[in-house]
Structure 1
Amino acid sequence: MPQLADKLVIAISSRALFDLQDSHRVFEERGLQAFSDYQTAHENDVLEKGDAFPLVEKFLQINDRLEGDSRVEVILLSRNSADTGLRVFNSIEHYGLNITRAAFCNGESPYRYIAPFGCHLFLSSDGQDVRHALEQGVAAATLIAGGARERQDDTLRFAFDGDAVIFSDEAEQIFKRDGLAAFAAAERASAQKPLGGGPFKGFLEALQRLQSEFGPDSCPIRTALVTARSAPAHERVIRTLRAWNVRLDESVFLGGLPKGEFLRAFGADVFFDDQPNHCASAAEHVATGHVPHGVANLEES
C-alpha cells in the first residue's frame, strides 16, 4: 500500500504552480459558471509557469538524483473542480512534472486535505488557506507574485527569516513592544536559552534529514538564514540551532539592511518571511512567501 510517511511532501495550489490570472479574472468578474466554461474551452491550452514552478521543478528532480528512490512528492490542492482542473493536469503533463496526487474542491478551501496527505509545506496564492494551514501546525506561505527567477543550476535554495518563521516570535514581541535596545538587551540576557520553534521548524528539520542522504559535495539542497538580526542578538540564534541539532548552510545577519540583494546573491528559489514589508521588498528579487504568523501579522488577522 503506498505510503507518504517517509517522504518530504509539499502541497501547492494550482494558482501558485501556474499563471491562472486570466481565468481567475473571469471568475471574479463573471462568476463560477463563466469560469468553468472558460477553463473547459481552454483545457488544451498549456498554462504559463507560475511563481512556484521553478521551485517545484527542482524539488521533483531530487528523486532523479536518488536513482529512483522517491523521497519527495508534490501534491496539488485546488479550488477547481476535477472537470475544470483538467487543464491544470494537462499542463502538468506537458511540462513533464511528476505530480500524480491532487484534491479538487470545487470552490471550497482545500486546506483540510493537508494533514491527510502528510504535507510538510503548503504554498498558495490564497492567504486565508495559508492561515488555516498554519493553524493546523503546517509550514505555509502565501506566494507573492513577481519575484520568480529561473536559475540555470539544479541546486534548490531555500532561504528563511528567523523570528516568527524558523523561531517563535517571542523575541519579536519584545522588539515590537519595547524597541531595538530592549530587544538587544533581552537577547543578550537570554543568549543561553534556546528560542521556541516557529511554524517552519519542522519543515527545516525535514529538509535537513533529506540533505543528510547526500554527500556534502553532491547535495542538491542549500538552506540559508537571512535575518535582520545582528550582534549581539546573533548568539541566541546560533545556540538555538545547535540545541535543535539543525544545520544551515549559510547564515546572514544583516542588522536591518534590506534583504533583497542578499537573497539574490544567495540565489534563493524561495524566501520565507513573516513581515509584509520585508516580503514586498524581497519579491522584487526572488520568489517570496509571506508567512502570516506572529506579532507582525496581528493587525491583519
Structure 2
Amino acid sequence: MTIAVSEILLINMEKPGVAFPFIKALVNVNDHFHKLYPDSEFPFHIALMTKNQAQEQHIRNHLNKLGLSQVSIHQDDYSSKPEPKVLYLSEDPGKAEEAIKTALFSDESEIVYKKKGLEAYLKNEDDSEDIPLGEGPLRCFLEALVNMEKKFHAKGLYKNCPVQTFLVTSRDPVISGTRVLKTLKSWGLELTQAFFLSGRPKGPPLSMIQPHIFFDDQKPHIDGALKLGIISAHVPYGIGYETYKDDCEK
C-alpha cells in the first residue's frame, strides 16, 4: 500500500507539517512489522510528492532529521495517475478529487437520503440489509490496515497492537448499521471497534479514540474533529461532497 503525501502536509517551511504525526506512526508500524517479519517488505510505502525536485537532496536531509528516512521523494503526479492501492493526501481538494479512482462505502444510501428523505432511506436500508454496500475510496487502505492488524495479532500483539481501526458513523445500530456490519463481513474485514451514533455528534468517540487520522466525506464532521485537535482528512467523494461544493459556490 502506498501513502502519497504532498510536501507541504509533511514538511511545512522545513518544520513538521500537519500530516507528520500520521506519517510518523506509519513509519513506526513499518519498523515494528519488520522486527516481527524480517524477511518481509515494509507494508506501507510512503511517498512525498513535490514540485520542487531540484531541491531533492535538501528535502531528503530534512526527512532524515525528522526520522523519516523511509520516505521516498517523487514528482507530484499521483493525482494524474490514480491507482487503487494509493492513498493520496493533499492540501488541494482538486488534486485529491482527481486522485480518487474508485469510490470505505459508496454513497448509494446517502443519495437516497438526500433525494427522498429519512423514511425512504430507512426503508431502502431495511430492504437492502443483505445486499453489501458498494466500495468507497478508502476500502483498499482499510484492507491494508486490517491485514496489518491480523499479522500483529498472529504474533500475540492484541492489546498493544500498533494498528487499530475504528468506524465512527452517523448510522443507527439497528437498521442501517446492520447493513454496514454485513458489508464489512462480506469483505472479510473485522475492525477494532465500531460506533453507530444515530445522528449524534462524532466528537465524543473521536475524543476517546484520539486517532492518528480521521477520514470523513462530510465537511461538518471534519470541522468538528479539527476543533478537537484531531488530524482529519476530507474525502472529496459522493453526493455529500457535491452538495458541499454547490453550497460553497452560492
Shorter-normalised TM range: 0.7 to 0.9
Contact 2:85 2:140 in 1 (8 A): no
User: Does the 8 A contact of 1:76 with 1:99 survive in 2?
Assistant: no
Residue of structure 1 equivalent to 2:220: 277
CA drift of 1:249 comes to 0.7
User: For 2:180, which of 226, 232, 237 is the aligned residue?
Assistant: 237
Amino acid at match of 1:277: P
- Alpha-carbon deviation of 1:18? 2.2
| 1:126 counterpart residue number | 92
Equivalent pairs counted in the alignment come to 234
1:114–1:96 distance in 2 versus 1, CA, 3 Å: farther
Is the contact between residue 85 and residue 104 of structure 1 (CA under 8 Å) also seen in structure 2?
no
Structural RMSD (CA): 2.0
TM-score of the pair, normalised by structure 1:
0.72
Q: How far apart in 2 are the matches of 1:261 and 1:19?
A: 30
Structure 1 Cα separation of the partners of residues 212 and 30 of structure 2: 18
Q: Distance in 2 between matches of 1:260 and 1:90?
A: 38
Unaligned runs of 5+ in 2: none
Q: Give the aligned partner of residue 50 of structure 2.
A: 78
User: TM-score, with normalisation over the residues of structure 2?
Assistant: 0.86
1:173 aligns with 2:111: yes
Tell me if the contact between 1:11 and 1:114 (Cα under 8 Å) persists in the aligned partners: no
State the distance in 1 between where 2:175 and 2:4 align: 37
Instruction: Quote the residue 2:210 is aligned against.
Output: 267
Corresponding position: 1:95 with 2:55: no
- Distance in 2, matches of 1:101 and 1:48, equals 18
Aligned 8 A contact 2:25 2:212 in 1: no
1:118-144 CA-to-partner distances (Å, cap 9, x unmatched) read 85311111111101110x34xxxxxxx
1:60–1:100 distance in 2 versus 1, CA, 3 Å = closer
Change in CA separation of 1:91 and 1:189 when aligned onto 2, cut-off 3 Å: same
Matches within 5 A, 1:19-98: 19-20=12-13, 47-66=14-33, 67=35, 68=38, 69=40, 70-79=42-51, 81-98=52-69
Counterpart code for 1:11: A
Note the C-alpha offset of 1:87.
4.0
Match status 1:224 vs 2:166: yes
Does structure 2 conserve the Cα–Cα contact (< 8 Å) formed by 1:224 and 1:250?
Answer: yes
* Bigger relative contact order, structure 1 or 2 (CA pairs below 8 A, ≥6 apart): 1
**C-alpha contact (below 8 Å) 1:11/1:119 kept by paired residues:** no
Equivalent in the alignment of 1:291 = 235
Which is helix-richer, 1 or 2?
2
Task: Return the alpha-carbon distance in structure 2 between the equivalents of residues 71 and 187 of structure 1.
Answer: 35
Query: Separation in 2 of the partners of 1:48 and 1:73?
Result: 22
Partner Cα separation in structure 1 for residue 215 and residue 114 of structure 2: 20
Deviation at 1:245, TM superposition (A): 1.0
Rounded Cα–Cα distance in structure 2 between residues aligned with 1:99 and 1:112: 24
Q: CA deviation at 1:86?
A: 4.5
2:9 aligned residue (9, 12, 16): 16
Query: For residue 50 of structure 2, what is the amino acid of its counterpart?
Result: S
* SS of 2:80 mapped into structure 1: helix
* CA drift at 1:60: 0.6
Once the two structures are TM-superposed, the CA of residue 19 in structure 1 deviates from its matched residue by 2.4
Q: AA paired with 2:191?
A: L
Which residue, out of 201, 213, 220, partners 2:139?
Answer: 201
